[in-house]
Amino acid sequence: MKEMIYKGSVENEQKVIDMLDEGIYKGFHYVIVSYGTHPCAYIEIPEGHKLYNASNQNEFYDIACHGGINFNTYTGLPFVPIKNPNKGHYIGWSFSTVGYDYIFGICYCGKKWTTKEIFEDIKNVIEQLIKS
């Protein structure tokens, strides 16, 4: 697990994505990344889960996480350097709420999230997915 370091998101005119952590928790694949300015969390919904292939964002409305689920795709995470890329169903959320979260270059007054805190949020979401 690498620590989140807030910095600019563009170096040498290319977007920098830094893998902070990736693993399996209770059968769910998760990924934590830094986009430089802020971190994001992603969880793969396994086949057979009732929310697998859920196309309506409202189906994730009851999932409590920081800022709410704002990412839902069936094409995997092509922009994230995960160990075992696939075209699975991923949900995700960011830690970049203006006025609440620290965002490099935009909001210098909010919370700086640690990778361990983000992982705790991921575990909480996975527990909710297990119970749903």
Residue 78 in any domain: the answer is: yes
Query: 124 pLDDT exceeds 60?
Result: yes
Residue 4 in any domain: the answer is: no
Of these ranges, 95-99, 105-109, 116-120, the one predicted with the greatest mean pLDDT is: 116-120
Domain of residue 47 covers: 10-131
Residue 84 in any domain: the answer is: yes
pLDDT of amino acid 58: 77
Got the DSSP string for the chain?
A: -PPP----SEETTEE--EEEEEEEETTEEEEEEE-SS-EEEEEEEPTTSTTTT---GGGGTT---TT---EEESS--TTS--SS----EEEEEES--TTTB-BTTTBSSSBPPPHHHHHHHHHHHHHHHHH-
Residue 83 in any domain: the answer is: yes
Tell me the average pLDDT across 54-69: 86
Residue 32 in any domain: the answer is: yes
Residue 35 in any domain: the answer is: yes
pLDDT of amino acid 3: 96
pLDDT of amino acid 12: 38
Output the average pLDDT for the chain: 88
Residue 3 in any domain: the answer is: no
Query: 46 pLDDT exceeds 50?
Result: yes
Q: How many domains does the chain have?
A: 1
* pLDDT-based confidence at residue 13 (cuts at 50, 70, 90): very low
